[in-house]
Amino acid sequence: MMSQMPQPTALSRCPSCEEPLEAGDRFCGACGYDLSAVPTPPQDHPTIAMNGSSTRPSEAAASLDWPLAPEPASSDTPAPVHRATDIRGMDSGGSELPHPDTESAGAQQPGDRPSGAQPSGEQPSGVRFDRPPEPDEYPLAPPAEAPAGPVVDPRTADLAAPVTPPAGTKLCVACRSGHVDSDGYCENCGHAQPRERDHMEQELGAVAAVSDRGLRHHRNEDAFAISSTALPDGSPAVVAIVCDGVSSATRPDEASLAASRAANEALLAALPLGTHPQQAMHEAILAASEAVNSLAEAPPAHEEHAPHQNAPACTLVGAVVTPALLIVGWVGDSRAYWVPVDRTSPPARLTEDDSWAAQMVAAGLMSEAQAYADERAHAITGWLGADAYELEPHTASFKPDRPGVVVVCTDGLWNYAEAAEEMAEVVPLDAAERPLHSAQVLVGHALDGGGHDNVTVAVVPFPAPPQGAGSA
């Protein structure tokens, strides 16, 4: 940028104050400017050479709005002259160009700051100081050794591939990036993870069971155990145990799990020895009771979360199916239903509740409809637990004369299909061939009805098919 424009040899106005001049004046009469100091205009037109060709200044360049010099303080003081260093410039991106005074005119001297560096304490606008200074040169890194195995092209890599969490940890089901802590919450987004028991399904050929947390409860307090074994004569015996934790008790989920496992193990131990299935069921309920009672002696894992402790408790209902016999046993209000394959034959409820409503009906004080309409209907009078009344295991033996299925369930299901006829209506017609599908349908029926409680159901075909033999 030039400080002033070329002037003709004969001046008509003072180049400093624009005062009109007369021919032959050597000094301006207004400001005293020395007119002999005006340089003779060059004969050429300096340009910037691009690709070897020269261009003349365009008319647009001549029409630039050049800054005017300020008026002098007095007529005796010559007006200052603008220098290129007084005018800031902008690059094509709108950023301010470096001030010429800060640029080194020659080679950098020892101890000088690098070009563009700021003095200590100065922070130019638009520059971030939260990153390390960049070097003037970027040396090439030495070639790395070829990795073992196939080389993956990052341009074609599957960016949506699931992240594999470290061994021993689980990945969050919500954000799919955070790890789940020991309390069951995501360390990244804080989302509570589904518990392992929120929904469980199991199928063993001749028996299947499904358990679901439901739509209202914060955890699943039900539990089940299904298995099969062989009687001494080689005929099959299929076992299904369903337990419902008492929510008003401490650790009901632990009680139902302990009871279902203990009863199942007791049956698998007794049946192959030739113990009558009804006697084996009675002993299995006693074993389940002892397992739940032992929980009351063990301190809870989190005492600070449960200052008011009482004994864990649960209900139990179980079924053993052989080629000729159907055995049921129960304590509490979980139930077993018989649904024949031929739906022209009547279904039946195989258990009687240990409940307030059942007692009213048995005593002849209320009809069944009146008793179960009462708000006290589901108050149980029998359960497994250290604070239970005298334990009275119930068992019954049946010899059905036709094929069918046994539905073993908690009240989370039968609340939506209480009568045997209602249960038969929602059991699929092919339940004997597809027990797992039937159990899924029944749980879905309870969830569609509102899912107010945990829902657990096992479906056991009768008679036990030969392929049901063998422990599982």
> What tens digit of pLDDT does each residue of 230-258 get?
999 999 999 999 999 999 999 999 999 99
Q: Say if residue 408's pLDDT is above 60.
A: yes
Q: Rounded mean pLDDT of 171-195?
A: 79
Beta strand segments in 204-282, E: 208-212, 222-230, 236-245
Most confident of the following: 188-202, 278-292, 361-375, 456-470? 278-292
- Segment 72-90, tens digit of pLDDT: 555 555 555 444 455 455 5
Which DSSP string do the residues of 101-168 spell out, in sequence order?
GGS-SSSPPTTPPPTTPPPTT---TT---SSPPPPS--PPPPPPPPPSSPPPPTTTS-TTPPPPPPTT
Contacts of 94 (CB under 8 A, 6+ apart): none
Place of tokens 């950023």: 95
Q: Which of 284, 289, 198, 299 is nearest to 237 (CA)?
A: 284
Beta strand segments in 360-454, E: 384-385, 394-398, 404-409
Please say whether the beta carbons of 405 and 345 come within 8 A: no
| The pLDDT of residue 421 | 97
What is the C-alpha separation between 466 and 237, in angstroms, rounded?
A: 9
Please say whether the beta carbons of 146 and 154 come within 8 A: no
84 DSSP 8-state letter: G
Q: Which of 232, 458, 185, 448 is nearest to 337 (CA)?
A: 458
Q: How confident is the model at residue 127 (pLDDT cuts 50, 70, 90)?
A: very low
Q: Which of 60, 104, 66 is nearest to 84 (CA)?
A: 66
What is the C-alpha separation between 339 and 420, in angstroms, rounded?
A: 8
| The pLDDT of residue 140 | 52
| The pLDDT of residue 448 | 96
pLDDT averaged over every residue in the chain: 77
Q: Which of 373, 375, 285, 274 is nearest to 328 (CA)?
A: 285
| The pLDDT of residue 10 | 57
| The pLDDT of residue 176 | 75
Retrieve residue 228's tokens. Answer: 């099969």
Place of tokens 């159907």: 326
Please say whether the beta carbons of 470 and 230 come within 8 A: yes
Q: What percent of the chain has pLDDT over 70?
A: 65
Q: How confident is the model at residue 156 (pLDDT cuts 50, 70, 90)?
A: low
Place of tokens 């129960």: 330
Of 125 and 95, the structure prediction assigns the larger pLDDT to: 95
Residue 69: phi and psi, rounded to 5, are -70, 145
Please say whether the beta carbons of 186 and 172 come within 8 A: yes
